[in-house]
Structure 1
Amino acid sequence: MIAEDAARFTLVITGAPYASQAPQTALHFARAAISGGHTIAQVFLYGDGVHLASNLTSPPSDETDWPAEWRAFLTEHQIPATCCIASALRRGLLDDSEARRYEKPASNVSAPYQVAGLGDWLAATQDSTRTLYFNGGQS
């Protein structure tokens, strides 16, 4: 049940898992927002945040697998998630389509993420009551 005064959020994550707290903080916020009757319109990964979409992340068994946690959350709540195409390509993250386009032997981004441009981010922000940024810190 969604409350009449419920907010609709777009979340922008710019920090990489294991290099910043941005993905963890964003996930804690997203879970609380959903529990509070709010909606997450879209999650947009930008800059180093695109590393969250990598299927190749393999943390030690005693650490939380943040990419897997995010994939499960997004899938469970059917939340669209987009990786900025320019950020992803610069960092070696490709979906099947981009791997074929650039004649690369493999891809490492799959559902629930899609690789797309800033237009998706802009559309989501226009469809949201709030856009929140979870930034990676300076190292």
Structure 2
Amino acid sequence: MEVETRTLHLNNNFTPCHTKENDEIFGVGIFRFNISKIMEDIHSGELVVDKENINIKKWFRWYGHNSSLNEDHLPTVDVDSIIIQAEIRPGIFSIIDGNHRIEKAFRLGKSSICSFNLVGEQLIPYLITYKGYKLL
């Protein structure tokens, strides 16, 4: 599958996403995203994203299981809540909210789980540091 090439251009007026106490933040490397604000904007209609049903077995064959999950948290997880995937490289998506949900759904034998998919450009407003933005 060929992936369309896209170029991001830095905006010198970029302002990091504001965070409030108790906001859920996801971090990978230098990048930190405000998950709470993403969900708020999706539910308000301000952020329109693709939605898909992920084949759970296929997903785990491709990505493997997350060995750092908190097993004590799994019983409280709602597998009917939508997960969020972010495009971390062109055409490659990674779960940024819902790793426990997809794991629990797998263990329960569910065949699929629903996901919101954000492409790279959609993630920019939710970066909470200028340093992370600059390194895109």
TM class, shorter-length: under 0.3
Would you tell me which structure has more strand in proportion to its own residues? 2
Structure having the higher Rg: 2
Of Structure 1 and Structure 2, which has the larger fraction of its residues in helix?
A: 1
